[in-house]
Amino acid sequence: KQEVTQIPAALSVPEGENLVLNCSFTDSAIYNLQWFRQDPGKGLTSLLLIQSSQREQTSGRLNASLDKSSGRSTLYIAASQPGDSATYLCAALYAGGTSYGKLTFGQGTILTVHP
């Protein structure tokens, strides 16, 4: 069964701190790995997408890495700000059969950055 797990479930940090969110997936036959942000009562916003052939992607203060062999991805947020407070979701896109094209999501990490 294809599963995605995120640790920790919740994280609270002071403003300015660098932090790492973790994601693990059970099947290495992924097509890509995506990180999303969800604000309370809102939809999902795509942050970064890493293709299976890539090792990392960067956007501003965000850096996502992918290690297929160990089944792990990390999202690194530098110099965190209160505006970064949200739920961060990791999702794996699996290839093959009826899995082709659909995302499997982790449960998310609720991040709170306090001033």
Q: Interface with other proteins includes 69 (CB under 8 A)?
A: no
Least Å from the CB of residue 77 to other proteins: 21
Is the Cβ of residue 41 or residue 115 nearer to other proteins in the bound state?
Answer: 41
Query: Residue 100, Cα to own-chain centre: how many angstroms?
Result: 20
Is the Cβ of residue 16 or residue 42 nearer to other proteins in the bound state?
Answer: 42
- Give the span between the Cα atoms of 9 and 98, in whole angstroms: 29
Pairing of strands 109-114, 10-14: parallel
Return all residues near 63 (Cβ < 8 A) that are at least 6 apart: 56, 57, 75, 76, 78
Site string for other proteins, 15-34 (x = CB under 8 A): ----------------xx-x
- Binders of other proteins in range 82-101 (CB under 8 A): 89, 93, 98-101
Q: Interface with other proteins includes 37 (CB under 8 A)?
A: no
CB-based contact 73:67 (threshold 8 Å): yes
Binding site for other proteins (CB under 8 A): 31-32, 34, 36, 41-46, 49, 51, 89, 93, 98-108
